[in-house]
Amino acid sequence: MKPLSHAAIIMLAAHVAALHSQTKPRARDLGVPFHGQPGPVNAITDVAGVEVGMTTLISGSGALKIGSGPVRTGVTAILPRGKGSNDPVFAGWFSLNGNGEMTGTTWLEEGGFLEGPVFITNTHSVGVVRDAAIKWSVDHGYLHQPWSLPVVAETWDGSLNDINGFHVKPEHVVAALDGARRGAVAEGNVGGGTGMRCYGFKCGTGTSSRKIDAQNGGYTVGVLVQANHGTRDLLRVAGVPVGAEMATETPAADELGSIIIVVATDAPLMPHQLKRLARRASLGLARTGSISSNGSGDIFIAFSTANAGAAGASNTASVSLLSNEKIGSVFEATVDATEEAIINALVAAETMVGVDGHRAEAIPHDRLREILRKYNRLVSR
């Protein structure tokens, strides 16, 4: 494959931006009840400054031909302070089960800062995304220091995608970065989540946010997930055993494993507190039924956009720290937003046929509502 021209990259970035305008039903639109108050667009971008960009690659059909397709994959980029700033943010990470990869975490753990975007893609494209991210950072003066250790995470899409064909190219990473923006975020079969499945259904990218009340600081927490985990029988929606109710109704895919969860907040938290926040994503995941199995790469990262300029201090920096007495509301918001982001990914996803005719069915919205109604959990809209 020849590299894309500059004009083609611009067109691709425009397509990336157009993804944000896509409108699909979300879990709340179907009447799924959730706890907590979401932000204006109920997305990770409700945290001021955060931008999200995606490149989605869908082409071909039929039998797998390595290097040709079918292609069902992509890349997602989350920029903590947007394209206009290379100011690092305090961050922490946590591995609930480590059968997966998130690069750059050794230095993040040691230094306490996330020094660039967070990327999510398929398992075999981590390397190309990492290298392209470094090149983009060099070209745009984004480097905070002379070297770069990007954070790139993955989940496996090989049941639908020609994963060994290495279809994610550097220009696709550039397009995701250049097309990153604030506002609504597309969900389902988009970005790195294009070829993913969860709980035996088609799944992918999902997001949500929570606004904390003024008494507890008025902060915002946003979550974005790439969901590719869990078995059908385990799925719970709003506490209802939806997976068990639907266990024999549609063919269920085998468990693939892995979910990446990105938590953003404007609450002033230090790295050790952000590690605590990343751990709380586990509880939101558990609400949807996951047991974090042996084959699952369940890896989470949390960052705070507060304390701008702290990483650039030449001697000492004055920083603000939320007390442990007040951090509970941020924990709660993280759990709530994580749960909803996963269900949003499930609801937004559409049935997809991939390599060798493998088919991942979308969760039937009418049946989901029927089950929720049976358990008196459906909210009228």
Catalytic residue among 208, 258, 290, 292: 258
User: Encoding tokens for residue 24?
Assistant: 């699909």
Instruction: Tell me if residue 159 is catalytic.
Output: no
Instruction: Tell me if residue 258 is catalytic.
Output: yes
The mean predicted confidence, pLDDT, of the chain is: 93
Number of domains in the chain: 1
Asked whether residue 380 is assigned to any structural domain, the reply reads no
Asked whether residue 1 is assigned to any structural domain, the reply reads no
Helix, strand, or coil (residue 45): helix
Paired with 298 in beta bridges are 97, 259
Report the CATH number at residue 62: 3.60.70.12
Instruction: Tell me if residue 298 is catalytic.
Output: yes
Asked whether residue 346 is assigned to any structural domain, the reply reads yes
Q: Strands, E, within the chain: which ranges?
A: 51-59, 71-79, 89-98, 113-114, 118-122, 151-155, 197-198, 201-202, 205-211, 220-227, 259-265, 297-304, 352-353, 359-360
- Domain range for 321 is 6-374
Say yes or no to pLDDT of 375 above 80: yes
Beta-carbon contacts of 242 under 8 Å, excluding residues fewer than 6 positions away, are 235, 236, 368, 371, 372
Asked whether residue 86 is assigned to any structural domain, the reply reads yes
Q: Are 142 and 105 a contacting pair, CB within 8 Å?
A: no
Q: What is the pLDDT of residue 305?
A: 98
Catalytic residue among 148, 290, 296, 329: 296
pLDDT band at 252 (very low <50, low <70, confident <90, very high): low
Helix (H) or strand (E) run with residue 273 in it: helix 271-287
pLDDT tens, position by position, 143-197? 888 999 999 999 999 999 999 999 999 999 999 999 999 999 999 999 999 999 9
pTM of the prediction? 0.94
Asked whether residue 379 is assigned to any structural domain, the reply reads no
The residue to which tokens 């046929």 are assigned:
353
Catalytic residue among 159, 298, 329, 336: 298
Helix (H) or strand (E) run with residue 250 in it: none
